[in-house]
Amino acid sequence: MSVHIIFFPRGSRQCGAPQTSKMNFCEEDYHFTGYVGEFINTLTSLSYVFLGCYALYRQRSRENETQLTHYLSYISLVIVGIGSAAYHATLKYPLQLVDDLSMLLGAGIMFHHVLTINRGTGDQIRLFLLITIVLSLAVWAHIKTGDSALHQIVFGSMVVTVGFRTFKLLKAMISSRNMRSKLRRLATRGYLILIVAYGLWLIDVFACQHLRALRHAIGIPLAWLFELHGWWHILTATGVYIYMLLGEYLQPAYRDQESGGNDGWISILKGPSNVKPKESRTNGCIKKLS
């Protein structure tokens, strides 16, 4: 039996300007309220905003200076969430473009960071210009044709590259074997989360009619558990946050940090400032390594 929320107008009647977006997901439009196009997709988009704002808040407690790249990464995560929520709420084509382009922005920042982490300023500028040109061409093609295939290929290629490159950097740069092992396991979990997210996205696309039938059968609120594009938002936000966090551990100030035996995943996920600095003994005294 469906649960009807009486203080929101339900059904397919739209309260506002008509939809202009060229993409539509499996969630039924204006089904929960006539004021929000895709209610669950809009709500779950805020997971990007939450994790991005949390990470920016963490930077305030840092003893060591945070690189600009990490600020930009987390700001881009917030922008992705705002753009995604605005698009799913209104189903307008200009906001669909904002949603798509913000994804390229976030992936591009991470892509540039992992490829230039040990490079000089000249190499960083050259790669920045190359990435800007490629992304500009992808954006132009997307706007000109309305086809999102090239956008998806460019975005997916950058995400895959960031993942594999991060594994190599962790192996080469993290001096503590215990810490390196924990971070590589975290990277593996992050990659698995992204793979599951992509799988749910595919199911949402190709099994939409079955999902809608199931949701109609069980009704709200249990039906919301089967809004798979919403899970895509939550899982990709989590996976991307993990890889942005791993980039923090690769900063020179944190590469020699040691993880205590009792440091669990919660401590790791809170960032490098919450992990014990590595200690060495010199002339009977304990000295912290910066």
Cα separation, 56 vs 241, whole angstroms: 12
70-123 pLDDT tens trace: 888 899 899 999 999 999 999 998 888 888 888 888 888 889 888 988 888 888
Q: Which stretch of DSSP H or E encloses residue 105?
A: helix 93-116
- The pLDDT value recorded for residue 261 is 46
Mean per-residue pLDDT of the chain: 80
**Residue of higher predicted confidence among 129 and 144:** 129
pLDDT surpasses 50 at 263: yes
Q: Which of 177-181, 211-215, 271-275 has the highest mean pLDDT?
A: 211-215
DSSP 261: T
User: pLDDT higher for 286 or 160?
Assistant: 160
Residue 15 burial (CB count, 10 A)? 10
Q: How many residues does the chain have?
A: 290
Peptide bond into 9 cis (omega under 30): no
Tell whether residue 233 is among the known ligand binding residues. yes
Q: Which of 40-49, 243-252, 256-265 has the highest mean pLDDT?
A: 40-49
pLDDT tens-digit map of 195-206: 999 899 999 989
Q: What gap in Å lies between CA 48 and CA 56, rounded to an integer? A: 12
pLDDT in tens, 200-244: 999 998 999 999 999 999 988 899 999 999 999 999 999 999 988
Could you write out the DSSP letters of every residue in 2-53? PPP-TTS--SS---SSPP--S---SSPTTSS-TT-SSHHHHHHHHHHHHHHH
65 labeled binding residue = no
Give the residue from 37, 98, 74 showing the smallest Cα distance to 229: 37
- Can you tell me the distance from the alpha carbon of 290 to that of 278, in angstroms, rounded to the nearest whole number? 8
Q: Is 27 annotated as a binding residue?
A: yes
Q: Euclidean distance between the first and final Cα of the chain, in Å?
A: 61
Domains parsed from the chain with CATH numbers: 39-288 (1.20.1070)
Q: Is 88 annotated as a binding residue?
A: yes
Per-residue model confidence (pLDDT) at position 17: 63
Question: In terms of Cα–Cα distance, which of 10, 44, 37 is closest to 233?
Answer: 44
